[in-house]
Structures are given as structure tokens and as C-alpha cells.
Amino acid sequence: MPGAKTGTHYTSEENAMQTLTSVVYLEGLVFGECPRWRDGALWLSDMFGGRVLRSTGAGKAETVLEIKGGRPSGLAFLDDGSLLVVSMLDRKLLRRWPDGRVEPFADLAPHVAGDINDMVRAPDGGVFVGNFGFDLFAGAEGRLTNLHHVDSAGKVREVATELNFPNGMVITPDRRTLIVAETFAHRLTAFDLDGGQLRNRRVFAQLGDYAPDGICLDAAGAVWVSAFVGDAYLRVEEGGNITHQVPLSGRRAVACNLGGTDGRTLFMVTADTDVERLARGDSRARVETTRVEVAGAGSP
């Protein structure tokens, strides 16, 4: 891969990967996950902190939901403003109404063999939800798993199989393509969305030594990838060309999203931990930001 070049101009005439730097936005997390930008605020889960946060500015955060003894992860908003929250350990989705009421929404426990994790809003008003497929934090042997759709009434159905640790997901603005990060396969996988079914499975980008965690989509069709293995954030085009990177110097890249008033702030959740330490609750996390040229496409 060509050497790094500082800057934020998105041209590839020299096929050079450009390097960006970041600043700290929010500290004091245990293990942040699944940032979402909505109504002028950053929402995210503090997974091992057992809480969902809302931030309206650098250094500011309020707790909007606590899951005592649980692990919140994926977040998605419904049309009525309700927030869906993945509760990993009991493998359920919770619904937080705009007035703050919280109630069960869907139970995925009968359908999965591991913790559920990330989630993205589907074009039909439901969500797609991934799962580990095995007990990661107990050191179980990895196995392929499935992907589920949960409709707006909470009904669960399987929509894809044999995924290698499905993680972050995005949907293109035309609502025709779902892109999934397969962490242990080191790739981004795409599906056509066809009448509620997933068809035409294909590789969007093979990532080599990088293992993708959370992802987000920009308006040019490129995917920003959190490389949990690789300690960097990467802007990846379809086919695998990496145009930009944000190196982290030993911190783990966990999840990201584009937001801010113009959609050009990349919010990046980073953590000082690894899988073995995280299983013990040994983690210190924060949110960092960098400015980019291409705005977000609104997913996740």
C-alpha cells in the first residue's frame, strides 16, 4: 500500500492513502459502542458501563437509560422517535419511548447461539440485528451464525446464514443494499434488499489484516470501518481501496458514525483494552473526532 499523505482531499490520482488526526470528544466510558447521530446529538452505548448516553457537545453526556447487570449495544430509532436498544446478555431488544418509558420489544434468545450485538434500521421500519454465534467472552470456539430481521411489531425472522461474526451494518440511501462487517472474515459483505429478503450475497471489500467492527456510510458510497484488529479507522471504497486512515497508536477502534451540523464530523469510539481484558471488565474508552470532506449518508 502506498505511503500515507496528510490531508483531507478525497482524490486518488496518486492512489495515496491519506492520514487524518483526531481529538478527544468525550471521556469516562468503560467500553463505548454503536454511536448514532440524531436531532443534533450523539447517542451511544457504554456497553460494559451498562448505560446509554446522549451527548450534545464535547465533554457533555447524560445517561438516558441504564441496564443494570446488562450490556447495551446496538441502537436504532423508530418512526415515532422510540429508541430500540440491544440488551446483549438476555438477547432482547428494549424500546425506550420518547417520554422515557422502557418496555420489552423483541426476544431473540430462541433464535441465536450467542449475544446479540449491532443493529441497523431497515427500510420497512424494522431492524436488522446481528449476533456473535458463540460465547466470545468465555473463550468458546468461533462458529458461523445468522442474521435476523425484527419488524416494527417485534416479530423475528432469519434472513441470512453462515456469517462470520456479523457486526456493524449500514444501508445505502436508495434502500437497496445492506452492507455487513464480518469481523472474523476480515471483510465487508453486501446483500441486495429485495422485498424484505436478502439476495445476491457478495464481497463489498476484503480488508486483509484489518478486522472490522462498527461501520458507517458516507455520501460517496464509501464505508468508514473501525478496525478493531489493526488499531485504525479506515475509509474503504467498494472493491477494497482504502483512501483514508486515522491511526490510533495502540488503542482499539470499536465503532464510528458521521454526524455534526454538516454531517462531516467522524465520531470514533476507541478503547484501551482487548478481548481478554474486556471479558474481565478491564477497559477505558472514549470518543474521538476528526473532520472529513464527504458527509455521512445517514446510516446507521
- The tens digit of pLDDT for each residue in 200-218 reads 999 999 999 999 999 999 9
The pLDDT assigned to 13 comes to: 37
What 3-state class would DSSP assign to 269?
Answer: strand
pLDDT digits (tens, 9 = 90+) for 59-107: 999 999 999 878 999 999 999 999 999 999 999 999 999 999 999 999 9
C-beta of residue 45 within 8 angstroms of C-beta of residue 300: no
The Cα–Cα gap between 203 and 45 comes to 29
Residue 151 has a pLDDT of 96
The 10s digit of each residue's pLDDT in 156-192 is 999 999 999 999 999 999 999 999 999 999 999 999 9
Q: Which fold has domain 4-291?
A: Neuraminidase (2.120.10)
Answer with the residue of higher pLDDT: 51 or 10: 51
Is the pLDDT at 57 greater than 60, yes or no?
A: yes
Q: Which residues pair with 37 in a beta bridge?
A: 42
Provide the 3-class DSSP secondary structure of residue 265: strand
Q: What is the pLDDT of residue 16?
A: 81
User: What digits encode the pLDDT tens for the residues 96-154?
Assistant: 999 999 999 999 999 999 999 999 999 999 999 999 988 787 777 888 999 999 999 99
Q: How far apart are CA 83 and CA 107, in angstroms?
A: 16
Helix H or strand E encompassing 205 = strand 197-206
Long-range CB contacts for residues 236-241, cutoff 8 Å, separation at least 24 = 236/188, 236/205, 236/207, 237/205, 238/204, 238/205, 239/205, 240/205, 240/206, 240/207, 241/12, 241/15
pLDDT at 297: 98
Write down the pLDDT at residue 178: 98
Beta-carbon contacts of residue 194 (< 8 Å; ≥ 6 apart): none
Instruction: Answer yes or no: is pLDDT of 9 > 60.
Output: no
Q: Which of 212, 106, 231 is nearest to 165 (CA)?
A: 212
- Tell me the pLDDT tens digit for each residue of 235-291: 999 999 999 999 998 899 999 999 999 999 999 999 999 888 988 888 999 999 999
